[in-house]
């Protein structure tokens, strides 16, 4: 046992002692002056579809609260000083650990926004916060011309490990050849979208039949180019589930951009369409996003159900095995299908289909199983954020952030064939403090690395490296056609895929 662990335990015991009624200081509620307020939503320059910041309740003795001081403890008012009828939707989400996330979505651009954080009638910390000058709406076409200035305002990391790894396989690329060869190699059987960004305008040409998913990429590129000037570049985005470039690095590789990477392909990964879309639609069309999940993380650790939980579709054979395991060991694992699509449904083996369960209800359970679907399970970011401990299947598939996670630190790993899953579940039950520590570390990672600002930063850093000449733009002729201006309604796309029974269904289920 390392010493940081000891000091952690000590401060835990100390806090606990202080917070019991006999501890004295604990009787006082949160202190307005002592509580902490911070985050990107307090800065005018951080333009996000839904802006957000945090509050930490601190008592009069300077101790952080570690459980909720009450859902309605803090009131937040956001208004424009120059516009009396500003329409701004504010939500305060109780994270139940003594901290809160506040998010707001503006209906227009404003100047001089005032954010008041109140405890009873007192201003908290440095409230009121004034965001001086232009506070742009998500839809404002107001790109910062200097990418480095924007990256600094956004506090973007200088680089991301996955970007460096992905692009190291492409020391030099002939863009002119790519523009000819990629559609030839992949464009008939796969669905690709060839994007060109020139003078911060987006041009597209699609290849293949099923290109509906391009709306997610279109929407994100338009949103990014409204915020910052993106270098001139071209990229081929794979709109299908599976990564495509199976050649070895010593062969001639083609740069293909995919939402999911794998150990045996060389695709360049981007944040998934699911995560990107949920950033754009936070407080909009989607109810599950990286902020809402923080306000719906279920009961405190000690009151969570000790049975592991899994729900989803039959999109991979191991999922069938998982459900069988659950049926054999119902005390350890509650795993059931909500949908059968890929395999023949044998109710005798896999049980009856169960009703769809709200994702937020997952966090009534202490142990969450993350198991591949068609590719990586795109629910992983949300599971990490929830405050349960995630048991993750070893997998050849990965998303853009897996590289930064460490097994046993952020999640409990289990083997790809599930052979040690029960053993790992028993371990977690028998080592509750360690399991809780892993849950908190995973949650902390999600809170700091998987939020909307990080997703924008990831795309921008990726495009910066590409635009800086690693993959020189060639600019095929079609960019002289009209640039993309807006995205066809996402809702109509979903409706359409519903009727044709296509893959679009997966979108609403967060690839459950
Ligand atoms: C109190 O919470 C803040 C915000 O999460 C954190 O930065 C700080 O380290 C915490 N203080 C202590 C003493 O744990
Ligand atoms: C925990 O969950 C399992 C499986 O969903 C259920 O059978 C059990 O009754 C729950 N236990 C408690 C204490 O609620
Ligand atoms: C994939 O690669 C990662 C990182 O090198 C490794 O930890 C993992 O075991 C590999 N998984 C499979 C199934 O190949």
- Domain CATH number, residue 80: 2.60.40.10
Q: What is the pLDDT of residue 345?
A: 85
Please indicate whether residue 416, judged by its CB atom, sits closer than 6 Å to ligand 3.
yes
Residue with CA nearest ligand 3 atom 14: 396
pLDDT band at residue 506 under the 50/70/90 scheme: very low
Going from the C-alpha of 309 to that of each of 38, 366, 402, the distances in angstroms are: 34, 8, 22
pLDDT digits (tens, 9 = 90+) for 155-184: 999 999 999 999 988 877 677 788 889 999
Residue 310 lies in a domain: yes
Is there a single domain that holds both residue 172 and residue 93?
Answer: no
Q: What is the pLDDT of residue 393?
A: 98
Residue 42 lies in a domain: yes
Pocket test for ligand 2, best of 303, 304, 325, 334 (most atoms within 8 A of CB): 334
Q: Based on the structure, what is the number of domains in the chain?
A: 3
Cβ atoms < 10 Å from Cβ of 169: 16
Please indicate whether residue 305, judged by its CB atom, sits closer than 6 Å to ligand 2.
yes
Please indicate whether residue 56, judged by its CB atom, sits closer than 6 Å to ligand 1.
yes
Is there a single domain that holds both residue 94 and residue 194?
Answer: no
Residue 90 phi/psi, 5° resolution? -115, 140
Q: What is the pLDDT of residue 1?
A: 33
Kind plus residue range of the DSSP H or E element containing 112: strand 110-119
Tell which wins on pLDDT, 90 or 485: 90
Please indicate whether residue 64, judged by its CB atom, sits closer than 6 Å to ligand 1.
yes
Is there a single domain that holds both residue 179 and residue 253?
Answer: yes
Please say if the pLDDT value at position 499 is more than 90. no
Please indicate whether residue 165, judged by its CB atom, sits closer than 6 Å to ligand 3.
no
Q: What is the DSSP letter of 169?
A: T
Cis peptide before 128 (omega within 30 of 0): yes
Please indicate whether residue 476, judged by its CB atom, sits closer than 6 Å to ligand 2.
no
Q: Which of 404, 432, 449 finishes a domain?
A: 449
- Domain CATH number, residue 359: 3.40.50.2000
Say how many Å lie between the CA of residue 379 and the centre of ligand 2.
Answer: 23
Mean pLDDT of the chain: 88
Please say if the pLDDT value at position 6 is more than 80. no
Say how many Å lie between the CA of residue 397 and the centre of ligand 3.
Answer: 8
Q: Give the mean model confidence (pLDDT) for residues 495-506.
A: 34
Say how many Å lie between the CA of residue 375 and the centre of ligand 3.
Answer: 14
Q: What proportion of the chain, given as a percentage, has pLDDT over 90?
A: 74
Is there a single domain that holds both residue 176 and residue 273?
Answer: yes
Is there a single domain that holds both residue 463 and residue 360?
Answer: no
Residue with CA nearest ligand 3 atom 12: 396
Please indicate whether residue 505, judged by its CB atom, sits closer than 6 Å to ligand 1.
no
Residue 7 lies in a domain: no
Is there a single domain that holds both residue 443 and residue 299?
Answer: yes
Q: Which domain holds residue 500?
A: 161-281+452-508
Is there a single domain that holds both residue 64 and residue 179?
Answer: no
- Nearest ligand, CA of residue 336? 2
Residue 148 lies in a domain: no
Please indicate whether residue 394, judged by its CB atom, sits closer than 6 Å to ligand 3.
yes
- Nearest ligand, CA of residue 64? 1
Is there a single domain that holds both residue 297 and residue 420?
Answer: yes
Please say if the pLDDT value at position 496 is more than 50. no
Q: Which of 142, 171, 201 finishes a domain?
A: 142
Q: What is the pLDDT of residue 28?
A: 76
Q: What is the pLDDT of residue 127?
A: 98
Sign of CA pseudo-dihedral 286, 155, 260, 404: negative
Is there a single domain that holds both residue 346 and residue 372?
Answer: yes
Residue 246 lies in a domain: yes
Is there a single domain that holds both residue 296 and residue 444?
Answer: yes
Residue 286 lies in a domain: no
d(CA 91, CA 104): 6
Residue 214 lies in a domain: yes
Can you spell out the DSSP letters for 418-476?
-TTHHHHHHHHHH-HHHHHHHHHHHHHHHHHHSSHHHHHHHHHHHHHHIIIIIT-----
Atom from ligand 1 closest to the CA of residue 58: 1
Residue 6 lies in a domain: no
Q: What is the pLDDT of residue 467?
A: 78
Q: What proportion of the chain, given as a percentage, has pLDDT over 70?
A: 87
Please indicate whether residue 36, judged by its CB atom, sits closer than 6 Å to ligand 1.
yes
Residue with CA nearest ligand 2 atom 4: 334
d(CA 193, CA 235): 8
Please say if the pLDDT value at position 490 is more than 70. no
Is there a single domain that holds both residue 265 and residue 367?
Answer: no
pLDDT digits (tens, 9 = 90+) for 72-93: 999 999 999 988 888 999 999 9
Q: Which of 403, 420, 449 finishes a domain?
A: 449
Going from the C-alpha of 200 to that of each of 57, 146, 221, the distances in angstroms are: 43, 12, 10
Is there a single domain that holds both residue 169 and residue 103?
Answer: no
Residue with CA nearest ligand 2 atom 5: 334
Atom from ligand 3 closest to the CA of residue 407: 7
Cβ atoms of 38 and 53 closer than 8 Å:
yes
Residue with CA nearest ligand 3 atom 5: 263
pLDDT band at residue 237 under the 50/70/90 scheme: very high
């Amino acid at each position: 046992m390392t010493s940081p662990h000891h000091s952690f335990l000590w401060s835990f015991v100390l806090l606990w002692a202080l917070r019991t009624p006999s501890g004295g200081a604990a009787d006082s509620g949160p202190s307005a002056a002592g509580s902490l307020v911070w985050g990107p939503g307090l800065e005018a320059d951080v333009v996000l579809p839904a802006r957000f910041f945090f509050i930490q309740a601190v008592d009069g003795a300077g101790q952080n609260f570690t459980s909720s001081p009450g859902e309605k403890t803090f009131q937040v008012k956001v208004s424009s000083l120059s516009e009396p009828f500003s329409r701004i939707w504010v939500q305060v989400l109780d994270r139940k650990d003594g901290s809160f996330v506040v998010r707001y979505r503006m209906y227009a651009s404003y100047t001089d926004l005032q954010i008041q954080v109140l405890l009873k009638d007192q201003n908290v910390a440095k409230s009121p916060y004034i965001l001086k000058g232009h506070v742009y709406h998500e839809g404002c076409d107001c790109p910062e011309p200097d990418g480095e200035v924007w990256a600094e305002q956004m506090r973007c990391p200088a680089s991301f490990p996955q970007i460096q790894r992905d692009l190291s396989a492409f020391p030099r690329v002939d863009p002119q050849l790519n523009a000819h060869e990629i559609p030839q190699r992949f464009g008939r059987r796969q669905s690709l979208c060839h994007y060109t960004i020139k003078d911060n305008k987006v041009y597209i040409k699609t290849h293949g039949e099923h290109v509906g998913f391009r709306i997610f990429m279109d929407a994100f590129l338009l949103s990014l180019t409204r915020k910052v000037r993106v270098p001139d570049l071209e990229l081929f985005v794979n709109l299908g589930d599976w990564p495509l470039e199976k050649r070895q690095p010593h062969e001639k590789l083609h740069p293909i951009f995919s939402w999911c990477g794998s150990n045996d392909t060389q695709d360049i990964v981007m944040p998934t369409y699911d995560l990107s879309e949920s950033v754009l639609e936070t407080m909009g069309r989607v109810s599950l996003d990286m902020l809402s999940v923080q306000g719906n993380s279920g009961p405190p650790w000690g009151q969570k159900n000790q049975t592991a939980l899994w729900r989803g579709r039959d999109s991979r054979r191991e999922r069938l095995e998982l459900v069988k395991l659950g049926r054999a060991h119902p005390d350890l694992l509650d795993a059931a299908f909500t949908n059968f699509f890929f395999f023949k449904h044998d109710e005798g083996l896999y049980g009856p289909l169960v009703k769809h369960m709200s994702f937020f209800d997952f966090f009534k359970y202490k142990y969450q199983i993350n198991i591949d679907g068609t590719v990586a399970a795109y629910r992983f970011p949300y599971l990490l954020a929830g405050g349960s401990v995630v048991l993750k299947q070893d997998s050849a598939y990965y998303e853009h952030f897996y590289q930064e996670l460490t097994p046993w630190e952020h999640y409990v790993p289990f083997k790809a064939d599930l052979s040690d899953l029960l053993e790992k579940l028993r371990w977690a039950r028998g080592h509750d403090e360690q399991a809780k520590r892993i849950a908190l570390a995973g949650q902390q990672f999600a809170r700091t690395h998987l939020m909307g600002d990080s997703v924008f930063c990831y795309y921008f850093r990726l495009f910066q490296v590409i635009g800086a000449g690693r993959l020189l733009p060639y600019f095929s002729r079609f960019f002289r056609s009209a640039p993309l201006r807006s995205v066809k309604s996402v809702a109509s796309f979903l409706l359409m895929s519903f009727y044709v029974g296509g893959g679009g269904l997966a979108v609403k289920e967060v690839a459950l």
